[in-house]
Structure 1
Amino acid sequence: MTQKHFVLVHGSCHGAWCWYKLKPLLESGGHKVTALDLAASGVNPKQLHHLRTLHDYTLPLMEFMSALPDGEKVILVGHSFGGFNIALAMENYPHKISVAVFLTAFMPDSVHSPTYVLGQFNELTPAEIWLDTQFLSYDTPEDPLRTLIFGPQFMSKKLYQLCSPEDIALGGLLIRPSSYFTEDLPKLKKFTDEGYGSVKRVYIICSEDQAITLDFQRWLIENIGVVEVKEIKDADHMAMLSKPQQLCQYLLEIDSDE
């Protein structure tokens, strides 16, 4: 068996802690697993008001990728908004990634601005879906940062509805405010075919996701295309918590270049 190195990238408001079930499952098969805290997430010491750009937020992943030895390749797994973070790593370090896995995640393309898929999501998603999620702005109108923090109802009904009460409680205790960096995303250059587009992409659908719905997950796949699609039946948005064994099996089945 060839050892694989999985790098797990969480979504908004979460941290490396959300992979606590999946990490030991992958490691028990003899694989290496790195679960990262992005900036101002999990136990990362940065505060959200210190961040202004997607790159600021993604910096821990970028530093990790930069430090990888030449010749070593990883399998990037991005969950939810983490799809943007792994896309940034794919653009800058394509030669260090054997495959990128989008787990019910936003998946940008190389035709439109990086903000395009988020804009489509906002257009197609009714505002009521957010329930008690709070949206706030930091600092001045000239230099704003729109932030969000998931509310208990949103978490229990839209993100964690198929998870255990213990996992819902854990999430409620550990989430931190985050941002979609909607002020910065329109300023970013398009991802390129030579960088981002050169990395093999796999999408894992979660059929019962009430946040990034099944229809929108399929739209994302049709918008850019992937080499493989896998679907976890009866998985909510937090598949790493509600269906960790199935997710582990799918990740191990993915064909990589290693």
Structure 2
Amino acid sequence: MGNTFILVHGAWHGGWCWEKLRPLLEAEGHTVIAPDMPGHGEDRLPIEDQNLEKYARTVEALIAPLNEPVILVGHSFGGMIASQAACYIPNKIKKLVYISAFLPRAGQSCVGIAKSIRPTFHEKLVASGHDFILSADGKTSKVAPDSCADFIYDDIPRDAALMIAKRLGPESNAAQNQTVVLNDRFNDIPKAYVRCVFDRVIDVMLQDKMIAETYCGEVYTLETGHCPFESTPRSLADILLSL
């Protein structure tokens, strides 16, 4: 019997970002669920009202009715969401997988983790003449097309990266600043991490720091940028299929 993969996207993205990876897993007989977090993709809830807990509860609601434990996969900020959701239903999680993702310890936030290695993604943006685009009320941020092409999708053709940039939406700043509430069961859930060594968003030094601080039984490496589901979906699929 195949596994069920729950794929959790990161900031500014939607479930659409897994379009190349999804069929590679399904072709091997696995079930894939790639939801939009509230306010992302096709979901029309106000993004400014969202936070980390609401995202995690969305994932929990998807997993809770399922009969068998799932492989819960988070990319980037999706690692925070997956971690929090796993604490709500640890008995339903077969394995947590982090794809160049934030892997938190108790009480940490995405923004807090990002600041532990300098320069941060934001500092890199500013140094290169870019910056986040903040909403007038300061509750959400967006990524400019050039920033997307230069940092998030810098290892695919630029015209393709700019097309993807058109699909990115705003992200809740509250969500990225909210801390996770982890429990003892979190430490018992098997974890795997996929390092992306040329990542310009979550530097590989930060990835390695998180791996060292939170035990991962399996660590894999891809020579890619931040989004291997787009640049090397076959290689990423092979790792997930081996779990």
For normalisation by structure 1, the TM-score amounts to 0.85
2: distance between equivalents of 1:167 and 1:74? Answer: 32
- Closer/same/farther in 2, CA of residues 120 and 60 from structure 1, 3 Å limit: closer
Question: What is aligned with 2:111?
Answer: 118
Count residues in correspondence: 238
Question: What is aligned with 1:11?
Answer: 10
Deviation at 1:138, TM superposition (A): 6.3
Contact 1:167 1:241 in 2 (8 A): no
**Please, which runs of 5 or more residues in structure 1 have no aligned partner?**
140-144
- Closer/same/farther in 2, CA of residues 11 and 67 from structure 1, 3 Å limit: same
Contact 2:8 2:15 in 1 (8 A): yes
1: distance between equivalents of 2:135 and 2:158? Answer: 31
Contact 1:82 1:105 in 2 (8 A): yes
Q: Which amino acid aligns with 1:129?
A: K
Deviation at 1:182, TM superposition (A): 5.9
Q: Which amino acid aligns with 2:171?
A: S
Q: Which amino acid aligns with 1:210?
A: R
1: distance between equivalents of 2:8 and 2:38? Answer: 12
Confirm or deny that 1:241 pairs with 2:230.
Answer: yes
Q: Which amino acid aligns with 2:230?
A: L
Contact 1:37 1:60 in 2 (8 A): no
- 1:55 is paired with a residue whose SS is helix
2: distance between equivalents of 1:32 and 1:164? Answer: 30
Question: What is aligned with 1:142?
Answer: none
Deviation at 1:180, TM superposition (A): 4.3
Contact 2:17 2:230 in 1 (8 A): yes
Contact 2:112 2:177 in 1 (8 A): no
Deviation at 1:81, TM superposition (A): 0.3
Alignment RMSD (CA, Å): 2.0
2: distance between equivalents of 1:24 and 1:10? Answer: 16
2: distance between equivalents of 1:199 and 1:183? Answer: 23
Deviation at 1:123, TM superposition (A): 4.2
Contact 2:145 2:162 in 1 (8 A): no
Which of 131, 147, 155 is matched with 1:162 structurally?
A: 155
For normalisation by structure 2, the TM-score amounts to 0.90
2: distance between equivalents of 1:94 and 1:62? Answer: 10
Confirm or deny that 1:219 pairs with 2:217.
Answer: no
Deviation at 1:137, TM superposition (A): 5.6
2: distance between equivalents of 1:205 and 1:167? Answer: 23
Confirm or deny that 1:58 pairs with 2:56.
Answer: yes
2: distance between equivalents of 1:133 and 1:18? Answer: 22
- 1:88 is paired with a residue whose SS is helix
Q: After superposition, what is the alpha-carbon deviation per residue over 1:204-252, rounded to whole angstroms, capped at 9, x for unaligned? A: 001110110111110010111100100012x110110001000000001
Deviating above 6 A after TM superposition, structure 1's stretches of 4 or more consecutive aligned residues are none
**Please, which runs of 5 or more residues in structure 2 have no aligned partner?**
none
